[in-house]
Amino acid sequence: GGAGAEAEGGGGGAPPLDAAAAFLAQMGGQQQAAGDKKKKKKKPKAKKEGDGEEKKEETAKPKEKDAGKKGKQSAAAKKIAQRLAEQQAAEEELRRRREEEEARIRAEEEAEAAEARRAEEEKERKRLAKQAKKEKAKAEGKYLTKAQKAAAARNAAALEAMKAAGLVPTGGEAPKKDKPVYGKKKKPSPRPEQRKAAEEAEEAGGEAP
**What Cα–Cα distance (Å) separates residue 116 from each residue in 111, 112, 119, 128?**
9, 6, 5, 18
Q: Is the pLDDT of residue 174 over 80?
A: no
Coil, helix or strand at residue 166:
coil
User: pLDDT averaged over the chain?
Assistant: 73
Q: What share of the chain in percent tops pLDDT 90?
A: 28
Residue 203: predicted pLDDT: 66
pLDDT band for position 149 (cuts 50, 70, 90): confident
Residue 185: predicted pLDDT: 56
pLDDT band for position 14 (cuts 50, 70, 90): very low
Rounded to a whole number of angstroms, the CA Rg of the chain reads: 80
Residue 7: predicted pLDDT: 41
Q: Is the pLDDT of residue 17 over 70?
A: no
**What Cα–Cα distance (Å) separates residue 208 from each residue in 97, 180, 194, 198, 200?**
146, 49, 22, 16, 13
Q: What is the DSSP letter of 170?
A: T
| pLDDT tens digits, one per residue of 51-103 | 555 556 555 565 666 666 666 778 888 999 999 999 999 999 999 999 999 99
